[in-house]
Structure 1
Amino acid sequence: MSDNIRQNFRAARRALSKETQREHASAVKNAVGDSFLIRQATVIGCYLASDGEVDLGPTIKLFWERKIATAVPNVRADSMSFCAYTKDTDTAESRWGIREPIASSTIDSNDLGVVLVPLVAFTDQGQRLGRGRGYYDRMFKSSCRPLLIGVAHEIQRARKLTTTESDVLLDGVVSENGLVMVP
């Protein structure tokens, strides 16, 4: 069931035109840039977009302009870590088609104030459907975790998702319509 849901939402976001994708990336950058999220964070976790995800490139550049350090995921075997990401960081495509840093220093997850999280689908209650491997859920299952903000196109909003006890809820979602915190 979840695989069909993933396929449908992934197909919908891939079907967005390049112009719509650019507009959504710009709107997300503006929403994040105008928000409280970056006022106190010294390191923000981001991701390098693939498969129709909202491109955080403009947002990451904004962080750099404001002297905020960024980190992106790096997956090895069954675990994920965040690595420092700068304009000079070399990346390579992973086996899943996601760009990752080749050689970059690992950031302690406790140093991340905010993480902008990719997703396939989300609900207004903060439920997130990811790619199905559970990397973010495992990494942020502890109660002492950064603020987790899902990044999505509005077409990825679902009325209801089936989740498990191990699924970590989002604290908010940012889309082309702005940033909304989960009540």
Structure 2
Amino acid sequence: MSEEKARVRDILRKRKDAMVPEDRLKKSLAITRHLMKNIRPGETVMVFTSKEKEVNTKSLILALFEKKNPVVVPIIVKEDVSLRLSYLRDFAALVPSTFGVPEPIGSEIPADAKDIDTIILPMLGFDRAGGRIGYGAGYYDRFLSKNPDLKKIGVAFACQEMASLPVDENDIRMDYIITEDGIVYPGKRGSDGAQRYRNT
């Protein structure tokens, strides 16, 4: 399984790296438009802060600010492979940190996972069964296993789709997957939304 995941990740990285910056930004803005249609007024949203070649979340964060939705961002804790949470109220508070990920280091406003309604997750790849493959460190999988009731929305570019992903018992299915083309996987909320893959 690990060898197959490594092979798939290599394919997906090459696809993502092949995108030109202008195309990446244009598609990121389209993803933001689709996402905002699925965010309820007042709900607290946890959203990843994007690196250069990911779906750019700056426009999403600014749109959430404009709609007065509380925004929570993750801070990577390498020591125990976990995520520490902070409210974000000013985009300027983000500075490059662990793995080059923008984080509000020095401007943290502690947040609790129980206050989050929806989480927006980065994905290296996805399939139309709600499958998500990340970068391999497992930060989000660990966080989701401890917080299974969050509405989970994975975002990626359409070129990151695979017909089927190699998944194991630690991989958690998304509730929704959104690309520049719109919602490509509208999963069921509730117990189905937190469903893990089972080896068969």
Fold-level similarity (TM above 0.5): yes
Matched, 1:108 2:133: no
Aligned length: 181
Name the amino acid aligned to 1:7. Answer: D
Using the size of structure 2 for normalisation, the TM-score is: 0.83
1:57-76 alignment, distance < 5 Å: 57-76=58-77
Pairing partner for 1:138 from 110, 124, 142: 142
1:129-168 alignment, distance < 5 Å: 129-142=133-146, 144-168=148-172
- Partner Cα distance (2:176, 2:74) in 1: 20
Contact 2:113 2:147 in 1 (8 A): no
Contact 1:43 1:113 in 2 (8 A): yes
**Which sections of structure 1, spanning at least 5 residues, go unmatched?**
none
- Partner Cα distance (1:32, 1:132) in 2: 25
**Which sections of structure 2, spanning at least 5 residues, go unmatched?**
189-200
Contact 2:41 2:67 in 1 (8 A): no
Pairing partner for 2:176 from 159, 163, 172: 172
What's the CA shift for 1:14? 2.1
What's the CA shift for 1:89? 5.2
Q: Deviations over 1:4-44 (max 9, x none)?
A: 22122122112211221121111111111223xx1155210
Percent pairwise identity: 25
Could you say which residue in structure 2 is the equivalent of 1:121?
125
- Partner Cα distance (1:123, 1:33) in 2: 22
- Partner Cα distance (1:12, 1:54) in 2: 13
- Partner Cα distance (1:68, 1:153) in 2: 24
User: Which range moves more in the overlay, 40-49 or 61-70?
Assistant: 40-49
User: Which range moves more in the overlay, 85-94 or 166-175?
Assistant: 85-94
Using the size of structure 1 for normalisation, the TM-score is: 0.91
Could you say which residue in structure 2 is the equivalent of 1:79?
82
- Partner Cα distance (1:49, 1:105) in 2: 19
Contact 1:41 1:114 in 2 (8 A): no
- Partner Cα distance (2:134, 2:182) in 1: 21
- CA distance change for structure 1 residues 65 and 169 in 2, over 3 Å: closer, same or farther? same
What's the CA shift for 1:125? 0.8
Name the amino acid aligned to 1:99. Answer: P
Could you say which residue in structure 2 is the equivalent of 1:2?
5
Matched, 1:182 2:187: yes
- CA distance change for structure 1 residues 41 and 146 in 2, over 3 Å: closer, same or farther? farther
SS of 2:40's partner is: helix
